[in-house]
Amino acid sequence: MRTANVNGSKLRNMMIPLPPLAEQHRIIAKVDELMRLCDQLETQLSTMQNEKQSLLEAVLNDALDSGDGAPELKRLLVEA
């Protein structure tokens, strides 16, 4: 199967259908809305990852500061 080549002059002469201007504005508004949602989700994800790290550190600190296994746990973490 052969693929047609499109050069500059052919491209200038092509009729490319575009949606009406009002529809273009609706598309832009929807894309902007979705991009804001993506930004919010990225922020939430980052916040959740930071909270997860803080909780993990708190649990590890609590485990290291109390209990009979604390010295052994500290030794294992230092060796890791």
29-76, pLDDT tens digit by residue?
999 999 999 999 999 999 999 999 998 888 888 777 776 666 666 666
Q: Could you tell me the pLDDT band of residue 7, with boundaries at 50, 70 and 90?
A: confident
The residues spanned by each domain of the chain are 23-79
Alpha-carbon span 56 to 47, nearest angstrom = 14
Is 48 in a helix, a strand, or coil? helix
Contacts of 69 (CB under 8 A, 6+ apart): 63
pTM, rounded to two decimals: 0.56
pLDDT value of residue 80: 61
CA dihedral 52, 58, 59, 61 (to 10 degrees): 140
